[in-house]
Homo-oligomer: A and B are copies of this chain.
Amino acid sequence: MSVTHPIGFSASGVAAGLKASGRADLGLLVAERPAAAAAAFTTNALPAAPVVLGKRHLADGRARAVVVNSGQANAGTGPEGLTDAEATAAAVASAIGAVAEDVVVCSTGVIGPRVPVDRLTAALPDAVASLDTGGGAGFAEAILTTDVRPKEASATAGPFRVGGCVKGAGMIAPRLAHLATMLAFLTTDAPATPALLRRIVAERLVPVWNSVVVDGCQSTNDTVLLLASGVAGGPELDRPEDAPELVDAIEGVARDLARQMVADAEGASTVLVVQVDGAHDAAAARQVGLAVAGSPLVKTAVFGADPNAGRLLQAVGDAGVPVHPERVRVALGGITMIEAGVVLPPEDGLVEAMKEPEVVVEVRLGDDDGSATVFGCDLGYEYVRINAEYRT
């Protein structure tokens, strides 16, 4: 169940010969009528051409189709890259009977090479013919690069459905930050306005993805796109309070996808969940969580199943957030390792807790209300192998 779980959407994934492997590399998602749309993009100062074009095409809050190619990121391609993205949007628009401004283009893959637009457009008739209201899985597969598994999620909120998929295995960090690029597509059939979708993106989706860290590298292509077909019917939904259950369901799907993304991160064998409580506010809590989950020393300790309290202490102090040492408490797998800022002698059970597929670190900073949950993963030989033996 994926982006086609909500009604009003069809999707497909085909092989256009963009990837050397011959695997599916062209994903198409089409709304049966123009959908309300909102997105968040990478803040990388050298964004890919599709990011530049996507911002322009989404300015009116409407989209009819999303086309994703995997194999080339269309980044570092200069003005020609923008022309390629525009040509892709025009070709898709013509193939489905829409205007180019209603087509969102996303790319993921190697930075530098241009997208072979001729091959892409040659495969478009096949992609359009394959469009199916059950085609979400094929779409989720076609957008992958170094990912091992497709990552899909869905939910139901009263009369509405929510679906989504994501790709991204490396270059994952806060500030919508990922390479091998993070692309997330969420759909709903609720009659949400662009204004509501923008608020959901800003208030619910960006914080979820900004609480995920793999390698701290921010991609040139990261995109989170939320589309509402409105086909489920009912009165227009313009504010979060018009449909709180829907808003929570969308956030839930995003959180599910983010967790799947970390579990499938480049070389990851363990999911690291850092729960921070008692901070001054949620932002401070997230900053501490990211410092812990993003620390190479913590990540290698998780890989080695070494309950290293010192590295946790160092990372908590390294977040740029003022803390009172005497209030700091850190536990791992429910076992206290640091109390009142003091490292305790290691207890039985810690090594076992670190061998679980998911390691949970709880950090308490004081008695304030700020909380955050951050997802990360370990750092082992496989991350080095994937990234050092990769050949440009």
When A46-B313, A380-B384 are in contact, do A217 and B389 touch as well, CB less than 8 Å?
no
Q: Is the CB of A76 within 8 A of B387?
A: no
**Scoring A residues 353 to 389 as 1 if CB is less than 8 Å from chain B, else 0, what string do you get?**
0000000000000000000000000011101110111
Q: Quick check: B341 and A76 within 8 Å, CB to CB? A: yes
**In the A-B complex, the 3 residue pairs with the closest CB atoms:** A111-B310, A46-B317, A112-B343
Contacts of A179 in B (CB 8 A): 297, 311, 314
| Residue A228 is within 8 A (CB to CB) of chain B in the complex | no
B390 touches A380 (CB 8 A): no
- Closest B residue, CB atoms, query A306: B392
Could you tell me how many residues of chain A have their Cβ less than 8 Å away from some Cβ of chain B?
68
Whether the Cβ atoms of A218 and B318 lie closer than 8 Å is yes
Assess whether A338 is interfacial by the CB under 8 Å rule: yes
Identify which of B218, B310, B319 contacts A314 (C-beta below 8 A): B218
In the bound complex, do residue B306 and residue A388 qualify as a contact, i.e. CB atoms below 8 Å apart?
A: yes
Known: A297-B217, A300-B388. A310 touches B342 (CB 8 A): no
Q: With a CB–CB cut-off of 8 A, which chain B residues contact A390?
A: 301, 304, 306, 308
| A310 / chain B contacts, CB cutoff of 8 Å | 73, 75-76, 110-112, 392
Q: Which residues of A contact B (CB under 8 A)?
A: 44-47, 73, 75-78, 110-113, 170-171, 177, 179, 215-220, 295-297, 300-301, 303-304, 306-311, 313-323, 325-326, 328, 338, 340-343, 346, 379-381, 383-385, 387-392
Shortest distance between the CB of A185 and any CB in chain B (Å): 22
- Bound CA–CA A340/B78 (angstroms): 8
Given known pairs A45-B319, A111-B313, A392-B346, the reply for A387 and B170 (CB within 8 Å) is no
Residue of B nearest to A296 (CB): B215
- Asked if B45 and A317 sit within 8 Å, CB to CB, the answer is yes
Could you list some 26 contacts between A and B, CB below 8 A? A45-B316, A45-B320, A46-B314, A46-B328, A75-B310, A76-B338, A76-B341, A77-B342, A78-B342, A216-B216, A216-B295, A217-B295, A217-B296, A217-B311, A217-B315, A218-B317, A219-B314, A297-B387, A300-B383, A300-B384, A304-B389, A304-B390, A308-B390, A308-B392, A310-B392, A380-B384
**Chain B: which residue is nearest A390 at the CB level?**
B306
Query: Taking the nearest CB of chain B, how far is it from the CB of A262, in angstroms?
Result: 16
Query: Could you tell me the dominant secondary structure of chain A's interface residues?
Result: loop
Contact of A78 among B110, B321, B341 (CB under 8 A): B341
| Copy total for this chain | 2
A341 and B179 alpha carbons, distance in the complex (Å): 18
| Cβ contacts under 8 Å, A220 to chain B | 313-314, 317
Q: How distant is the Cα of A95 from the Cα of B313 in the complex, in angstroms?
A: 34
* Closest residue of B by beta carbon distance from A77: B342
Residues in chain B near residue A177, CB distance under 8 A: 318
**Complex Cα spacing A386 to B25, Å:** 39
Please determine whether A343 and B111 come into contact, CB atoms closer than 8 angstroms: yes
Most buried by B among A46, A170, A295: A46
Q: Which residues of B sit under 8 angstroms from A171, Cβ to Cβ?
A: 297, 314
Q: Which residues of B contact A311 (CB under 8 A)?
A: 111, 179, 217
- Give the residues in chain B near A297, CB-CB below 8 Å: 170-171, 179, 215, 217, 387
Cα-based distance from A385 to B303 in the complex (angstroms): 10
Assess the B111–A303 pair: CB atoms within 8 A.
no
Residue picked from A217, A308, A391, most chain B C-beta under 10 Å: A217
- Whether the pair B111, A216 counts as a contact (CB closer than 8 A) is no
Residues of chain B with a CB closer than 8 A to A338's CB: 76
A309 touches B76 (CB 8 A): yes
Q: Which residues of B contact A296 (CB under 8 A)?
A: 215-217, 296, 383, 387
Closest residue on chain B to residue A112 by CB atoms: B343
Q: State the CA gap A297–B181 with chains docked (Å).
A: 13
